[in-house]
Amino acid sequence: MIYKLLTACLFVSVMLPGFAQEQPTRNISTYFTAEKKYLVLPVKNGATKRNLELWVDGVNTRFWDMELAEDKPDWYAYMRIDEWKGKQIELRVDKVSAASKVFDPVMQSDADTNANEYKEKLRPQFHFSPKRGWTNDPNGMVYFNGEYHLFFQHNPYGRNWGNMTWGHAVSKDLVHWAELDDAIHPNQGGPVFSGGAVVDKNNTSGLGENGKPAMVMFHTGARGWGQYMTWSTDGRNFHWYDKAVVPRINKENRDPKVIWYEPAKQWVMVLWVERGNNEQHSIQFLTSPDLKNWTPASITYGGIGNDRYLYECPEFYELPVQGMDGVKKWVLTGANTEYAVGSFDGTTFTEEERKLQNQHGRGFYAPQTFSDEPTGRRIEIGWWRTNTAEDDMDFNQSMSLPMEHKLVKTPEGIRLTRMPVKEAERLRSGKIYKAGNKTLKENSANPLKDINIELAEIHVEITPGKAKEVALNIRGVAVIYNVAAQQLVADGVKAPAPLQNGKLTLLIYADRTGLEIFANNGLMFMPVNINIDDSDRSLSLSVKGGTAKISSLEVYELKSIWQ
């Protein structure tokens, strides 16, 4: 139900001397009583941004900007206000047109509705995306109270970057997500930038209640530029610690990630810090007994300037090395996924191999892994920069598939692999096409000609033999393997994919907004963001310049997670 409430307005006319007369504008101050769950805000994609403030008990409690619709909106944003139910609220808006009646009436609603929710033509069908607004970095990824919690950088009031807030979604299976209300809003520390979360199982912080441990979250406040802490004992209601736990170290510092280091019974924080006057990237290590009091411990230096090794959004974890019994190594990485492998003694990370990379795609950035994962796996989700700010879409950007990390012994050294989690198989609809032990020549019939599919999981193992090129066309997107160069090419993106024992294994997931390609059991990951033509549901496999053997070929039709 929408309520119409009384408003009061302050008028300001604007005319610049020497210029043609501008349209009169006014700053609005509107008063209403909070009676419903949400304040409903009209958005017009591409409109002039206006600054808005919500004042409660004389405190500027919410502040944001948005492309405010002064006539017919493209969509509505919903701000939760029920915590102030019964209170008088002042809503301030700057420089709307003098004739505007945008907040007459003020609209409130108990229902968060959207006619196109999850059914838009550019909505990824099995990659998480927010129901409305912009998203970028995944944040605070943690398993708590039987749920995977995915927080994310979120602009609830527009489909472009801004108003950084932590959005919140939960899942039981890493595949199907339920989006909840935004968890952490900007305050005097500033917009809520990226960070991580842990479960304080031993209650070192004293924030647990009635035997329930606290989920403790850390982020950078993009005004104070300190590292701030919030917590929850139920995964739904969030509380602020009263000050920054790590005040600003340098002009640029952000994105705290916290882990528990069992041998020393202490917490470790990794934090990106820019040092000196030459844009020196570094990772600051800090330690704490209680999550509240932090001591600098060591520094690991990365690249300089445009060399983005160890720049932003650090991630740090330990894994066993497959093929080396009893050996474990630590992985340190930054937002562009370049990583180092080494050892850690509780205070200092020693690089043994550095500037390694197995992600060679487009649009994949700032991934994070889950803390406290119950099976002991190291599971990652990254920000996937899909191209969804088109037409009247009311959301923008998405997340990658969840992927399990492993360390493996290779002839080149210890290397990281990424592969979709086992739970991704739950996407399969039951429809499957299998064809194996085929030999393809340059003019062979297309073995996939009978398939008509939108969402697909494709497995293929190829021995190229004397063929010069193997081409897998997925709904109009060509994925081509150049045998001589041992290189994959898709929509102009190139990635190294050396043959393993003369073979190439590929796993490809196709969604509306792109492909995620995994080669050689995850030694190479190649996400390619591209909006796929809805009218093309075909698949084809062909070779050029010789004969190739297809030892395995499987195609699974996938279901939408939004059904």
Tens-digit pLDDT profile for residues 255-307: 999 999 999 999 999 999 999 989 999 999 999 999 999 999 999 999 999 99
Q: Are 119 and 97 in contact (CB under 8 A)?
A: no
pLDDT of residue 174: 98
Distances in Å between the Cα of 123 and the Cα atoms of 130, 361, 395, 400, 465 are: 10, 21, 8, 13, 40
Other beta carbons within 10 Å of 3: 14
pLDDT of residue 164: 98
CA distance 530 to 272: 31
Name, in order, each residue with C-beta under 8 angstroms of 266's C-beta and a sequence gap of 6 or more: 260, 287, 288, 289, 346
pLDDT of residue 114: 74
Residue length, the chain? Answer: 563
pTM recorded for the entire structure: 0.94
Q: Look-up: residue for tokens 């720049």?
A: 311
Beta strands in 262-336 (DSSP E): 266-275, 280-288, 295-304, 315-322, 328-333
Active-site residue flag, 255: no
Distances in Å between the Cα of 404 and the Cα atoms of 120, 137, 327, 358 are: 29, 18, 19, 13
407-416 pLDDT, tens per residue?
Answer: 999 999 999 9
pLDDT of residue 23: 66
Distances in Å between the Cα of 488 and the Cα atoms of 16, 229, 467, 484, 505 are: 58, 43, 14, 11, 12
Pairing of strands 133-144, 395-396: parallel
pLDDT of residue 513: 97
Q: Are 368 and 217 in contact (CB under 8 A)?
A: no
Intervals of the chain under pLDDT 50:
1-20
Burial of 468 from C-beta contacts in 10 A (0-12 / 13-18 / 19+) = middle
Q: Are 546 and 465 in contact (CB under 8 A)?
A: yes
pLDDT of residue 19: 41
Which residue among the candidates 74, 137, 173, 200 is catalytic per the annotation? 137
Q: Which residues of 387-416 are buried (b: 16+ CB within 10 A; e: fewer)?
A: ebbeeebbbbbbbbbbbbbbbbeeeeebbb
- Residue ranges and CATH numbers for the domains of the chain are 8-109 (no CATH), 133-420 (2.115.10.20), 427-558 (2.60.120.560)
CA distance 31 to 97: 19
Backbone angles phi, psi at 83, to 5 degrees: -70, -15
Structure tokens at 186: 């900007």
Name, in order, each residue with C-beta under 8 angstroms of 430's C-beta and a sequence gap of 6 or more: 557
Burial of 59 from C-beta contacts in 10 A (0-12 / 13-18 / 19+) = exposed
Q: Assign 417 to helix, strand or coil.
A: strand
Distances in Å between the Cα of 229 and the Cα atoms of 265, 298, 361 are: 20, 22, 33
Q: Assign 522 to helix, strand or coil.
A: coil
Other beta carbons within 10 Å of 296: 14
Backbone angles phi, psi at 481, to 5 degrees: -105, 115
Structure tokens at 297: 């411990």
Name, in order, each residue with C-beta under 8 angstroms of 348's C-beta and a sequence gap of 6 or more: 285, 297, 298
Pairing of strands 339-344, 75-80: unpaired
Q: Assign 35 to helix, strand or coil.
A: coil
Structure tokens at 534: 């809805």
Query: Among 8, 10, 69, 11, which residue's Cα sits nearest to residue 40?
Result: 69
Which residues, in sequence order, are bridge partners of residue 362? 528
pLDDT of residue 22: 57
